[in-house]
Amino acid sequence: MKKKQLETYCEKTWCPGCTNFAILEAVKGAVLELEKEGVKRETLAFTVGIGCHAKMFDYLNLNSFYGLHGRALPLAQGIKLANPKLRVFSFVGDGDVYDEGISHLIHAAKRNADIAVFVHDNRNFALTVSQFTATSPKGFKGSSTPRGSVEEPFNPLELMMVSGATFIARGYALRVEHLKDLIKKAILHKGFSFLEILQPCITFFDNRQFYQERIYELKGPFSKAKAEEKIREWDYRNGKNKIPIGLFYKVEKPSFDELVG
Ligand code: SF4
């Protein structure tokens, strides 16, 4: 398959320069490499929620389903149960999956559903012109918090570790090759794969410089104890620390479809 065959006729309506374009490139690269390694395109399927991330549905020519807000993960799990031969993944946003649909995220990780979740974390509800989300930093000024959010953000990787995710990683939208490798690994992992993608929203929360000054690449995966330590190394509550990206944790366990199949 050629890269062009992964494209659709849809006009791209992301803001010019949006870092979602980089994620789209990383995904296309991952799919092309998977195909070279014998994974057939028709065995891939993905779902999306609602938000800027969800335009992946419009721009990526693969089997896909456009879901409701926060509901991309139940859809993905349903597809996987109906046809366990498929490799199923979801693109979601931080507002979409850490606010609207957070219980689905926790329970999909808990049951080790064999899906991969790619979170475009731009730390605000960007599509609806910037309300704060669960990962907006304290003091975040958006349309619902003009004087600054008073809440602390949580660390999604910590949440995934305690929920039982069997693959936990963080990537950066603007390190496309590195991100491509993480996407590939997440799709190939048998079990629940969680990939948090730091995705600066250049219109409402442009933190590219903040990330670029702090990011470094990990050589994981690690033991559980070491992964927990690395996961706690950074989130927006200790924002001055360096930001590790890469694969923190990976473990083999029976997946939900295997247990009920
Ligand atoms: Fe990208 Fe932000 Fe524009 Fe949405 S609002 S398309 S995330 S730059």
Please check whether residue 196 lies inside any domain of the structure.
yes
Q: CATH code at 208? A: 3.40.50.970
Residues of the domain holding 24:
19-252
What's the number of domains the chain is made of?
1
pLDDT digits (tens, 9 = 90+) for 95-116: 999 999 999 999 999 999 999 9
Please check whether residue 158 lies inside any domain of the structure.
yes
Q: Whose CA is nearest to atom 1 of ligand 1?
A: 18
Residues 6 or more apart from 210 whose CB is under 8 A from it?
239
Distance of alpha carbon 27 from alpha carbon 34, whole angstroms: 10
Please check whether residue 206 lies inside any domain of the structure.
yes
Please check whether residue 258 lies inside any domain of the structure.
no
Please check whether residue 230 lies inside any domain of the structure.
yes
pLDDT (0 to 100) of residue 261:
81
CA distances to 51, 71, 85, 140, 142 from 124, in Å: 10, 18, 35, 9, 8
Please check whether residue 145 lies inside any domain of the structure.
yes
CA of 202 to the centre of ligand 1 (A): 6
Q: Within 6 Å (CB) of ligand 1, which residues are found?
A: 14-15, 18, 20, 52, 122, 126, 201-204
Name the strand (E) or helix (H) holding 169.
strand 167-172
- Mutational pocket test of ligand 1: of 52, 119, 135, the residue with most ligand atoms within 8 Å of the beta carbon: 52
- Mutational pocket test of ligand 1: of 201, 206, 207, 208, the residue with most ligand atoms within 8 Å of the beta carbon: 201
Please check whether residue 12 lies inside any domain of the structure.
no
Ligand 1 atom with the smallest distance to the CA of 201 is: 2
Amino acid at 63: N
Distance of alpha carbon 148 from alpha carbon 165, whole angstroms: 32
Structure confidence at residue 1 as a pLDDT band (50, 70, 90) = low
pLDDT (0 to 100) of residue 3:
82
pTM of the predicted protein model: 0.98
Please check whether residue 78 lies inside any domain of the structure.
yes
Determine the 3-state secondary structure of 115 from DSSP.
Answer: strand
Ligand 1 atom with the smallest distance to the CA of 120 is: 7
* Antiparallel, parallel or unpaired: β 167-172 and 243-250: antiparallel
Residue percentage of the chain with pLDDT more than 90: 95
pLDDT digits (tens, 9 = 90+) for 136-145: 999 999 999 9
Q: What is the mean pLDDT of the chain?
A: 97
Q: How does DSSP classify residue 198?
A: E
